[in-house]
Structure 1
Amino acid sequence: MFTPRYQFPKYSNLILNDFKGHQWKALQTFTTILPQVNLMVELRDLRAPISSRNCIFEILHKKYKTPRLIVYTKGDKFLSNNSSSGNTMLTPLVNKLNELHAGKDEYIIVDGRNTKQNKHLLDIIKYKYYSEDDYPLGFRLLICGIPNVGKSTIINSLRKNYFTSTIRGERTMGGTSKFKKVAKTGDEAGVTRKTSEVIKIDDCKNGIYLFDTPGISLPKKVMTQEKFLSLSLCGSVKKNIVDPVIQADYLLYLVNLQRDRLKMFGAGSTTSIPLSNNIYEVLDKMNGNNEKQNAMNFIDSVINGSNVLFDVDSLAIDQRCYDEILNSEVAKLGGTDDFISTVLYGSSTITKSNKGSRAIGSKFKKAKMVNKIF
């Protein structure tokens, strides 16, 4: 009888840090924008609902007391692989999310490329706008999340809906208009590198506007090997950072743990994957040109052909443990006030020695603070 691995081996050559300089700058911009934002829309990947939760956004949410809506993207990854059983596959995951979010933030599951689903998201935003006071400058959103979680795709879809509805009158008058993306998209992390100016997405009341922001990676202080590999499978880590063989090994580990669940719901085929805990045995049976190519082919075939979850504990974790993990991560970053202080003053405070020597430059101060946390 086949027994899957219940613990993934440690890889000493894995670098658990993908935090970039432009992300640091974006965090500083967040502290300026959030006081004027009416709703924080945080995107997470449905395939990794725990790993794609960034404790930095929790800190910002608590500090500025900005109302928040959680949007789980990549819902299409479940429904498209097997439409007849897609809803059945989602049922246990939705039940778990209901439990984890009970009494806390509201959430919605979307496919960022689906116009109808994004219109539903906009309807929720409008409802929140109508439920609040009248804002003279309009209702303002901040779209945030980890890298490559689908922020720009959703923004372009929302903007396209608005563009289509507003130019209908122009077309009847003989004018021609062409939609242009307002946010760059790509299948790789780090496409958006700076916070956008306000983007209008609806004429409701005084207008609905949003800020697009770069994806923010998790700090190395709260990163684990399993979380990093889960994010790499989501596409939230640059492709050249993780060896594809290690990625394939982790994916095999996940598939073996979830075989019974996948078979139960009949969603996606894992029968072609050998019953083995040895990734090299699996790769040897593939027809690629080399080991790394076989690993990449294996990853693509499994991700596109099955409904595997990238978080081991997605369906097993309870709300208490879910909250404890988050609180522990916030504490590792020094707590809310200390973290915000580091973001605000780490690159601008000038520190002088007691002996009156020259001040430490802001660049040195910034590097010191970034290395301390990230």
Structure 2
Amino acid sequence: MAIQWFPGHMHLTKKAISERIKEIDVVIELLDARLPGSSANPMLADLTSARPALKVLNKQDLADPARTALWLAYYNSLPATRAIELDASETAPARRLIQACRELAPLRGGMVKPMRVLICGIPNVGKSTLINTLTGKRATKTGDEAGITKLEQRISLADDFYLYDTPGMLWPRIIVTKSGYNLAASGAIGRNAFNEEEVALELLDYLIKDYPEALVARYKVEVPAGISDEQMLEEIGRKRGAVLTKGRINLQKAAEIVIHEFRACALGRITLETPDEFAQWLAAGQLLDAERQVKKDKIETDRLIRFKKIPRPDKPRDAG
């Protein structure tokens, strides 16, 4: 099942960014270091493409360091783009943002031409925590829940450095199926928009292949060759006491355990995608989306023909 989540306030955020970007010098996009490709909003990329970009791989303390290095190299290879890793709760690294922005827009600064920076990202990626760290006070509300910030805010980080914070925003249609599951696992999507069992199974399918040692260490289970995600979820449920009458496993409870412990880093530092993997998923998603559009166009053409809005392709036009 494809996962989608685009509440009404996100439409307002899109409109606000479209207006604000006209006077912005640098765009900071916070990404989740555990899923740097899936957490990069393609709609934001379209809205802000005319501005230099600073990609911040946030929550790097939860991610696989080797894979973080791969993603930093990838984003730093893009034009007009810089990338740094960050743990938003650390004061000193957070202040690197100001220096990085000045390097991306060296002609801005001072009271005559103050630096104007837009910070954006998906829900629950850590923007509010980062801003509170930068300002040294509780400037914004925070919480481990998607969709906390609802309004744009302007925050002065220095006399000549203005930061505009926007609510977390996903995009109307997620074409990369794997991204939907990864976003749900990370907490970027409201819990009513996905099925916990499906998300946990997708997560376990990846962990079995890429991080089997994490499952062994955390759940004291074996990960033999060929074990399925369903079998692993049942085994974890059994180990954690999520057992119903007659020995049946409470799969919902087991799924909640897996998702919660991934988010809490109880499984260790894990990254759910590499640049190469995400590129393959994106290419496949774009192909399916193009095929979907062809089918949609055909349905619309057939409708117009049926109501005689346009002629049939094989019907000759009147010579006049």
Q: Same fold (TM over 0.5)?
A: yes
Partner of 1:210 in structure 2? 163
CA distance in 1, matches of 2:185, 2:30: 17
- TM-score, L = length of structure 1: 0.66
The one of 195, 200, 212 aligned to 2:156: 200
The reply to whether residue 60 of structure 1 matches residue 47 of structure 2 is: yes
For structure 1, which runs of at least 5 residues remain unmatched after alignment? 1-13, 79-88, 161-178, 335-374
What is the one-letter code of the residue matched to 1:214? P
What is the one-letter code of the residue matched to 2:271? L
Partner of 2:220 in structure 1? 272
Aligned residues: 277
The reply to whether residue 121 of structure 1 matches residue 81 of structure 2 is: no
Matches within 5 A, 1:28-107: 28-62=15-49, 65-78=50-63, 89-104=64-79, 105-107=81-83
Partner of 2:241 in structure 1? 287
| Kept after mapping to 1: 8 A contact 2:176/2:281 | no
The one of 201, 226, 231 aligned to 1:249: 201
The reply to whether residue 301 of structure 1 matches residue 253 of structure 2 is: no
Partner of 2:142 in structure 1? 185
Q: 1:318 to 1:226 in 2, by over 3 A?
A: closer
SS of 1:141's equivalent in the other structure is: strand
Partner of 1:342 in structure 2? none
| Alignment RMSD (CA, Å) | 3.1
Report the alpha carbon displacement of residue 127 of structure 1 after superposing the two structures with TM.
Answer: 4.1
Q: 1:331 to 1:232 in 2, by over 3 A?
A: same
CA distance in 2, matches of 1:318, 1:15: 17
> Over residues 56-114 of structure 1, what are the superposed CA-to-partner deviations in whole Å (9 max), with x where a residue is unaligned?
1111122xx11111111111213xxxxxxxxxx41343134313541432101100111
What is the one-letter code of the residue matched to 1:77? L
SS of 1:18's equivalent in the other structure is: coil
CA distance in 1, matches of 2:251, 2:289: 39
The one of 272, 276, 283 aligned to 1:310: 272
What is the one-letter code of the residue matched to 1:70? K
SS of 1:97's equivalent in the other structure is: helix
What is the one-letter code of the residue matched to 1:213? T
The reply to whether residue 21 of structure 1 matches residue 8 of structure 2 is: yes
Q: Which one scores higher on RCO, CA 8 angstroms, separation ≥ 6?
A: 1
Partner of 1:367 in structure 2? none
Partner of 2:177 in structure 1? 225
> Over residues 161-190 of structure 1, what are the superposed CA-to-partner deviations in whole Å (9 max), with x where a residue is unaligned?
xxxxxxxxxxxxxxxxxx4x2211110100
Partner of 1:83 in structure 2? none
For structure 2, which runs of at least 5 residues remain unmatched after alignment? 244-249, 294-320
What is the one-letter code of the residue matched to 2:98? L
What is the one-letter code of the residue matched to 1:189? A
Q: 1:190 to 1:208 in 2, by over 3 A?
A: same
CA distance in 1, matches of 2:151, 2:220: 43
Report the alpha carbon displacement of residue 38 of structure 1 after superposing the two structures with TM.
Answer: 0.9
CA distance in 1, matches of 2:98, 2:219: 40
Partner of 2:134 in structure 1? 158
Q: 1:187 to 1:118 in 2, by over 3 A?
A: same
Q: 1:133 to 1:240 in 2, by over 3 A?
A: closer
CA distance in 1, matches of 2:111, 2:184: 40
Identity of aligned pairs, percent? 24
| Kept after mapping to 1: 8 A contact 2:177/2:285 | no
> Over residues 189-235 of structure 1, what are the superposed CA-to-partner deviations in whole Å (9 max), with x where a residue is unaligned?
00011222x211113xxx21111111111222x33432111001111
What is the one-letter code of the residue matched to 1:291? L
CA distance in 1, matches of 2:289, 2:24: 22
> Over residues 240-298 of structure 1, what are the superposed CA-to-partner deviations in whole Å (9 max), with x where a residue is unaligned?
322222222112111111136x57xxx99357244231223432332137432232122
CA distance in 1, matches of 2:220, 2:70: 30
| Kept after mapping to 2: 8 A contact 1:44/1:71 | yes
